[in-house]
């Protein structure tokens, strides 16, 4: 393929359909669910997912791409038409770009001729793994010139991709968390299967199916793999979540605060799905949420005058203002609650007029000093400070961490520790679904 793919990596990720929480440590926002076509039927045995080859974009704007390996490896032009470089694992090479052309250059001054690409790095002996940017990866690494740098894509079987996803999204955990790890593996596989076709001959026009960030599922290659996680992935190999004969897009996030949300409670312009209902997450033994074990299930957030002014500016930008001058904020109030208790809208009153943000956009507007979004929309205004008649500070008190739709990851961990199995965990967070093979 010869192409200068438009846009930087940030533009490339615009096609992502669901944004998923970054583990029990955080959460993020995203648009609504996607439903795939009908499932062809149960397999006559366990699948291992190796018929699905995922392409994961690691970066879309590398100025040069350092690559090496732990053993014997090589770099070819696409399809292996031309062998460009062979290595033993100790050499360090880099892919360089000049316009729409690439070359491989070594530290000793050696370099290949400029060629169209893409280039493909592969291990050439068992046990050898590739390295890019000081991280190890299974499968192949593809390098393609774009108009903003080198697009680097890791091509590998879905099951191997999950080995670099689940430890980041749920952590490596302890033996009592095994069912939660299995539930996470099945949910993450369902998410991947919707985006990765079973037919390996169908290649994505963009060059990738998913990106390695929270825009899809966070993926970190081999360096994060853990035996207990790999066992959970192997034990559930090929299993996905289905509803009414359809493979479902299964969102998840860190913690719900006691009750999950329906899609319309968190995102605008989406439809509710029967398998994404708001469900109670209370442990009947304690009367407390299963996710109360999360260190971020209950939180406070403080905003000073400058941060409030910046929140108004972000709100104006989100609402399409061409001249986002925030003015001075005089009042902040929650206007309406969803069925699960989350804020429907946040009204920011200023001396230049009112600004309203809704649903999960509230989290993007209210950011802390480091730029991190608000933990959830499940909050109330706890305290206000005033000076000169204006609002000079606000304290929020909230629950949960993430968008709240689908599986509560800390809730799944709590349920696992209570002896609940993975299938039962998934049925609770995705009502009416079944776990089975996709093909």
Residue whose C-alpha is closest to residue 423's, from 193, 236, 146, 199 = 236
pLDDT given for residue 144 in this prediction? 94
DSSP letter (8 states) at residue 162: H
pLDDT given for residue 394 in this prediction? 95
pTM, two decimals, is 0.85
pLDDT given for residue 39 in this prediction? 35
Taking the C-alpha atoms of residue 315 and residue 299, their distance in angstroms, rounded to an integer, is: 23
Length of the chain: 439
DSSP 65-91: EEEEESS-EEEEEGGGSSEEEEE-SS-
Taking the C-alpha atoms of residue 425 and residue 429, their distance in angstroms, rounded to an integer, is: 7
Q: Which residues of the chain have pLDDT under 50?
A: 1-23, 25-49
Tens of pLDDT along 361-382?
A: 999 999 998 999 999 999 999 9
Taking the C-alpha atoms of residue 279 and residue 427, their distance in angstroms, rounded to an integer, is: 11
Taking the C-alpha atoms of residue 24 and residue 254, their distance in angstroms, rounded to an integer, is: 4
pLDDT given for residue 117 in this prediction? 84
pLDDT given for residue 263 in this prediction? 95
pLDDT given for residue 34 in this prediction? 39
Task: State the greatest distance between any 2 C-alpha atoms of the chain, in Å, as a whole number.
Answer: 73
pLDDT given for residue 241 in this prediction? 98
CB count within 10 Å of CB 107 equals: 10
DSSP letter (8 states) at residue 383: E
């Amino acid at each position: 393929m010869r192409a200068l793919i438009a846009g930087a990596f940030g533009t490339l990720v615009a096609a992502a359909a669901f944004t998923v929480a970054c583990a029990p440590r955080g959460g993020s926002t995203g648009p609504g669910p996607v439903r795939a076509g009908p499932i062809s039927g149960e397999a006559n045995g366990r699948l291992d997912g190796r018929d699905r080859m995922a392409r994961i974009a690691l970066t879309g704007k590398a100025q040069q791409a350092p690559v090496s390996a732990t053993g014997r490896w090589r770099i070819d032009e696409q399809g292996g038409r031309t062998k460009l470089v062979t290595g033993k694992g100790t050499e360090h090479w880099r892919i360089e770009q000049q316009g729409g052309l690439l070359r491989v250059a070594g530290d000793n001054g050696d370099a290949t001729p400029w060629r169209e690409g893409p280039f493909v790095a592969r291990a050439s002996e068992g046990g050898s793994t590739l390295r890019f940017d000081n991280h190890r990866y299974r499968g192949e690494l593809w390098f393609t010139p774009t108009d903003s740098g080198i697009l680097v894509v890791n091509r590998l079987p879905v099951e191997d991709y999950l080995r670099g996803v689940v430890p980041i999204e749920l952590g490596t955990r302890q033996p009592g968390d095994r069912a939660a790890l299995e539930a996470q593996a099945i949910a993450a596989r369902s998410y991947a299967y919707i985006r990765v076709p079973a037919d390996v001959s169908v290649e994505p026009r963009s060059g990738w199916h998913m990106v390695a960030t929270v825009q899809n599922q966070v993926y970190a290659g081999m360096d994060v793999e853990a035996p207990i996680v790999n066992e959970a992935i192997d034990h559930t190999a090929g299993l996905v979540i289905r509803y009414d004969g359809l493979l479902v897009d299964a969102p998840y996030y860190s913690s719900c605060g006691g009750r999950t949300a329906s899609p319309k409670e968190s995102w605008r312009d989406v439809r509710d799905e029967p398998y994404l209902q708001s469900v109670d997450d209370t442990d009947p033994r304690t009367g407390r949420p299963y996710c109360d074990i999360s260190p971020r299930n209950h939180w406070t957030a403080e905003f000073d005058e400058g941060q409030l002014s910046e929140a108004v500016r972000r709100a104006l930008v989100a609402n399409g203002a061409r001249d986002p001058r925030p003015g001075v904020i005089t009042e902040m109030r929650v206007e309406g609650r969803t069925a699960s208790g989350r804020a429907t809208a946040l009204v920011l009153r200023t001396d230049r007029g009112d600004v309203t943000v809704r649903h999960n956009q509230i989290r993007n507007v209210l950011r802390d000093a480091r730029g991190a979004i608000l933990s959830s929309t499940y909050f109330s205004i706890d305290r206000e400070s005033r000076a000169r008649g204006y609002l000079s500070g606000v304290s929020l008190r909230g629950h949960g961490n993430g968008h709240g739709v689908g599986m509560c990851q800390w809730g799944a961990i709590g349920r696992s520790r209570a002896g609940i199995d993975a299938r039962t965990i998934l049925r609770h967070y995705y009502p009416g679904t079944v776990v089975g093979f996709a093909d």
